[in-house]
Structure 1
Amino acid sequence: MPRTSGPETREKLIRAGEEVFAAQGAHGAQLRDIVRLAGQSNPSAVQYHFGSRAGLLDAVMAERQTRTEKVLTAELARAGDHGLRGLLRALVAAEATELRTERGRRCLRISTQLSHESGVRTRTPHPTIDGTVYWDLIGRVESCLTALPEPLRLERLDLALTLVGAAMADRAGQYLAGTTPLTDEALFAADLVETTTALLQAPRPALGDMP
């Protein structure tokens, strides 16, 4: 009988969670499918190790965050103090490393479904990103946008991060489906940096000029 305790089983459940959450949706995935894919006979294995579906989802995202944090730290050191574009270039480069593995691609597909839970708009980070280099980068990006009033600044920042996540998830989905994207990865990343920079730097709209 397969064990339902120990670090090996916990890792099997995380790997199975990545696959099922990516295929069925972060909130629609069936725990029984995750347990079965992980080779467990105890239907309560997820609850035993993670407490709940949300606990397993957090564990999946925490492992993904650990991987990208290492790259992001190095990318930010390389970027130095190059302003908004340099910060976004570091972010996109770090996120793009997840495109290189099937595991990373699945996690990108999951991440984009959770972008609204990041806490950017309320300045209350989700526990999986609290105290991370990623959360610090968000603050540094915001500091480049002080010409905008705070509500617009936070809303636009959240939209920009959502755009990055959605673009990465879309490309990951193409890779997982065996589809060849229209652009190579270097152009894709460079264009995503420029698009996101333009979104964030767009002037505050003059409402009086709108029809």
Structure 2
Amino acid sequence: MPRTSGPETREKLIRAAEEVFAAQGVDGAQLRDIVALAGQSNPSAVQYHFGSRAGLLDAVMAGRLARTEAALAPPLTTAEAGEPALRELIGLLVTAEATELRTDRGRRCLRISAQLSHESGVRTGVPHPTLAGTAYWRLICRVAAALAAAGLAEPVRLERLDLALTLIGAALADRARHYLDGAAPLTGEELFLADLTGTTTAFLLAAAPEPKEFP
């Protein structure tokens, strides 16, 4: 059997991890299943190439982020030359994220990343290390600024923004599941993305609750 190089083995493990994490869940996935699917005989292959389970998951998400960045950065830079409205910013995010729906690999990664949406760092204002300096985080900051300009208090706007990202991630992951299962979704993709953009924008701009004591 021909030997494979380190980079080739890493790529096989990443591809296998995408399948297993998507099918079994981030927390439920078994490393032995990933190693077996990647065709590796060494049970410690993940530790050898990635250091840990978390390192492998980071590698999977790094590839997914790189693809989204490539789709998001050019239109965001163009939009920032003017004064993009909140709906336009959300539309850019939804459209960029939806490029992952084009391939089975991207669809699996959408199912994985939906489980990690609360790890972005939005609630604390400190980006996850993988997001620092990215167009994705720049867009999040623009959205947060738009919500501040709309008069939302900081705790409310940060929580809403985090929940909005969760909504987008969950909706795209559900769409990805339909495609992977060969099931027909209720709406066409163009309508789905337009509705997701509009729904998310409306959620973010909903009237703030009246100040009062809550039990």
Distance 2:115 2:38 in 1: 23
Residue 135 (structure 1) aligns with = 137
Unmatched 5+ stretches in structure 1: none
Say whether the 8 Å CA contact 2:113–2:169 is kept in structure 1.
yes
Give how far 1:77 is off: 3.6
Q: How many pairs does the alignment contain?
A: 210
Tell me which amino acid in the other structure corresponds to 2:12.
Answer: K
CA distance in 2, matches of 1:151, 1:4: 51
Matching residue's letter, 2:89: L
Contact kept, 8 Å, 1:47 with 1:53, in 2: the verdict is yes
- Cα RMSD of the aligned pairs, angstroms, is 1.7
- Does the 8 A contact of 1:75 with 1:93 survive in 2? no
1:204 to 191, 196, 208: 208
Matches of 1:78 and 1:188, distance apart in 2: 24
Please state how far the C-alpha of 1:4 moved relative to its aligned partner: 7.2
Q: Which residue of structure 2 aligns with residue 97 of structure 1?
A: 99
TM-score, with structure 1 as normaliser: 0.95
1:183 maps to what in 2? 187
Distance in 1 separating the partners of 2:110 and 2:6: 27
Amino acid of the structure 2 residue aligned with 1:200: L
* Structure 2 counterpart of 1:176, one-letter code: L
Aligned counterpart for 2:176 among listed residues 143, 147, 172 = 172
For normalisation by structure 2, the TM-score amounts to 0.93
1:76 matched residue in structure 2: 76
Alignment of 1:23-38 (within 5 A): 23-38=23-38
- 2:45, 2:119 → 1: CA distance? 26
d(CA) in 1 for partners of 2:194, 2:209: 26
Cα distance in structure 2, aligned partners of 1:191 and 1:79: 21
Change in CA separation of 1:149 and 1:66 when aligned onto 2, cut-off 3 Å: same
What letter matches 1:135 in structure 2?
A: W
Unaligned runs of 5+ in 2: none
- Distance in 2 separating the partners of 1:67 and 1:167: 19
